[in-house]
Amino acid sequence: MSTALDFSINHSPDFPLLELRLAAGQQVFAEPSAMVTMSPSLDMSAGIKGGLVKGLGRALGGESLIVNTFTAKAGRAELALAPGGLGDVMHYNVGATGTGLMLQSGAFLAHGQGVSINGKWGGARGFFSGNGLVMLRASGSGDLFFNGFGAVLPVDVDGGYIVDTGYVLAFEETLNYEVTTVPGLRPRGLGKLKTFFLGGEGLVCRFSGRGKVWVQTRQIGSYLGWVYPFRPTKNRG
Partner 1 sequence: MSTYLGGVFDDALPEGRAAATITVWRHGVEARLEAGKVYTIRSEVLRLERGGSTGRMLFIRGQDPRLTLFSEAPGLLEEIGTTSGLEARNAVATLTAEVAKTRRATLSLWLIAAAVLVVLGLVTPPLFRVAVDGAVGQLPLSLDVKLGDLASSEITSFGPAITDERAAGLATEILERLRPHLPPDIAALDLKITVIESAEVNAFALPGGRMAVLSGLLKRADDVNMVAAVFAHELMHVRHRHGIRALVQSAGVLALVSVVFGDATGIVALLAQGGVLATLTHYGREHESQADLDGVALTAAAGFDPAGMPAFFRKLKEIAPSSEVQEALSWMSSHPSHEERIAAIEALIPSLTRGEDPPMNHTLEAARAALRGE
Pair type for strands 27-30 and 176-181 = unpaired
How far is residue 64's CA from residue 86's CA, in Å, rounded to a whole number? 18
Q: By CB under 8 A, what part of segment 176-215 binds partner 1?
A: 176-177, 196-200, 202, 209-210
75: left (phi over 0), alpha (psi -120 to 50) or beta: left
CB of 18 to partner 1, least distance (A): 22
| Phi and psi angles of residue 98, each rounded to the nearest 5 degrees, phi first | 75, 10
- Return the residue of 57, 61, 87, 100 that touches partner 1, per CB under 8 A: 100
CB of 100 to partner 1, least distance (A): 7
| SS3 state of residue 21 | strand
Question: 172 exposed, middle or buried (CB, 10 Å; 0-12, 13-18, 19+)?
Answer: buried
Number of helices and strands in the chain (H, E): 4, 17
Q: By CB under 8 A, what part of segment 139-168 binds partner 1?
A: 141, 156, 158
Identify which of residues 40 and 158 has a Cβ nearer to partner 1 in the complex: 158
Tell me which residue of 148, 141, 99 sits closest to 5, measured CA to CA.
141
CB of 8 to partner 1, least distance (A): 21
Interacting span for partner 1 (CB under 8 A) from 3-11, 107-115, 144-152, 217-225 = 217-225
CB of 215 to partner 1, least distance (A): 15
Tell me which residue of 176, 179, 178, 180 sits closest to 210, measured CA to CA.
176
- Return the residue of 12, 39, 69, 97 that touches partner 1, per CB under 8 A: 97
By CB under 8 A, residue 228 contacts partner 1 = yes
By CB under 8 A, residue 16 contacts partner 1 = no
| SS3 state of residue 125 | helix
By CB under 8 A, residue 60 contacts partner 1 = no
Contact criterion met (CB below 8 Å) for 205 and 129: yes
By CB under 8 A, residue 95 contacts partner 1 = yes
Identify which of residues 40 and 227 has a Cβ nearer to partner 1 in the complex: 227
Size of interface with partner 1, in residues (CB under 8 A): 31
Interacting span for partner 1 (CB under 8 A) from 60-68, 71-79, 96-104, 109-117 = 96-104
Contact criterion met (CB below 8 Å) for 32 and 85: no
- Return the residue of 96, 127, 162, 186 that touches partner 1, per CB under 8 A: 96
- CA distances 42 to 36, 66, 150, Å, are 13, 18, 31
Task: Name the site residues for partner 1 (rule: CB under 8 A).
Answer: 95-100, 102, 120, 124, 141, 156, 158, 171-177, 196-200, 202, 209-210, 221, 224-225, 228
